[in-house]
Amino acid sequence: MIHDGSLKSLQRLTSALSYDQMTRFLRVSSLQPQQWVQWLALQVMRHLPPPEDGVLRLVADCTWKPKRGKCIPGLAKGKNRSSGPWIVGQQILLVCYQWHSYRIPVAFALIRNKQNSDYKPPNAVLRELLSRIEIPSWAQRVVLLADAGFASKENLLLLQKWKWGYVLRLPRSWKLADGRSLGEVIRSTRGYTRIWLPSVNGKRRHTYHYVRMTVSLKHLGEVHLVIAKKRRNDGPKAVRVLVTNLDLEAKAVLKLYACRWYVEVLFKELKSGMSFGKQQLTGHVDQVENALGLSLAAYLVLLRLFAKQIPIQGSWSIFGLKHQAQAHFREKMYEISLQREVTKLVKQRISAC
């Protein structure tokens, strides 16, 4: 059954809760959805095979859910990129576990409006979320993957303190220890090497031209840079710079950063398949966070129920798991109704005798 994500349409999918019970549930201020989302994520991880190399990747990114109503709580204004259009809506920060083909949301937060007294920048919120995330016992190394918006000095210094690895895209505003800007380094870089890398799902391959160098960044110290572009004749504006504290080859760094795409796939699944951010709530910001937590919990419950059907390599989606869940519960309901009819007939025959 297709629904638009509203509470009334969701209530039609179940007879366990009424519409009033759903609204009262979302109004509860002591739900603490971040805690039970992390608990569900850990339950899912226990039923999935760990990676052979013991590397756990944490992927962090922000997404926007545009909203038009001015009375909706938690509205903010911003851009997806510096040259993009202005967006008015809810800005949501999400962190997920990632290895093999798995993408498991573990922490989230709603970024407040800048005029709100509880406002914190996304980088500060990310540091709070990372400090509360539980690392599984099998993880020998933790690597954070994120875009340029999270490559702040405080974030990188904290990751070094925790002895975590990171592969982040670096903004051009960073400067080297010798005073040169990153833009000057990009313009003076020559001698690119061409390589081919498979996509994250293994269905195609991509061409990259790269230069790997070890430099000393201001406030950070010695790190490794991978300056890459997709086409040989691309200008400086098309060049992307990746920074890492891991002593890896450029090909391995590019492969790691390509895994950041899993969080984009996760956003697509949550918004299209789990009605992430579609609930129309006009009460308080806590209600919005409770609704976001419910969407994440539904996603994690499906992963837990059908963990054995998720392949280690290749493509899978939450939409296929939803179809499996519908078929499974439809079969269970048929078995229950059939058993009730059989029990009823047996009682009638016994009473007739």
239 and 300 share one domain: no
Report the range out of 16-20, 24-28, 212-216, 278-282 with the highest average pLDDT.
212-216
238 and 274 share one domain: no
Q: What percent of the chain has pLDDT over 90?
A: 50
Place of tokens 């984009």: 264
228 and 81 share one domain: no
- Establish if 276 belongs to a structural domain: yes
- Establish if 209 belongs to a structural domain: yes
181 and 123 share one domain: no
Q: Place 28 in a pLDDT band, splitting at 50, 70 and 90.
A: low
- Establish if 340 belongs to a structural domain: no
| 248-274: pLDDT as tens digits | 999 999 999 999 999 999 999 999 888
35 and 179 share one domain: no
pLDDT score of 1: 45
Segments forming the whole domain that contains residue 219: 169-251
58 and 143 share one domain: yes
Candidates 216, 56, 230, 271; CA nearest to 145 is 56
pLDDT score of 11: 59
pLDDT score of 282: 67
173 and 27 share one domain: no
- Establish if 133 belongs to a structural domain: yes
- Establish if 175 belongs to a structural domain: yes
131 and 182 share one domain: no
10 and 89 share one domain: yes
Identify the residue with better confidence: 9 or 233: 233
222 and 309 share one domain: no
- Establish if 321 belongs to a structural domain: no
For residues 139-158, average pLDDT = 95
pTM of the model: 0.88
The tally of domains found in the chain comes to 2
| 77-120: pLDDT as tens digits | 888 777 778 888 889 999 999 999 999 999 999 998 888 888 89
30 and 107 share one domain: yes
Distance CA 56, CA 135 (A): 8
At residue 4, the 3 state secondary structure works out as coil
Q: What's the Rg (C-alpha) of the chain?
A: 24
At residue 47, the 3 state secondary structure works out as coil
Candidates 304, 220, 225; CA nearest to 39 is 304
Q: In the predicted model, is pLDDT for residue 232 greater than 70? A: yes
- Establish if 160 belongs to a structural domain: no
- Establish if 156 belongs to a structural domain: no
18 and 108 share one domain: yes
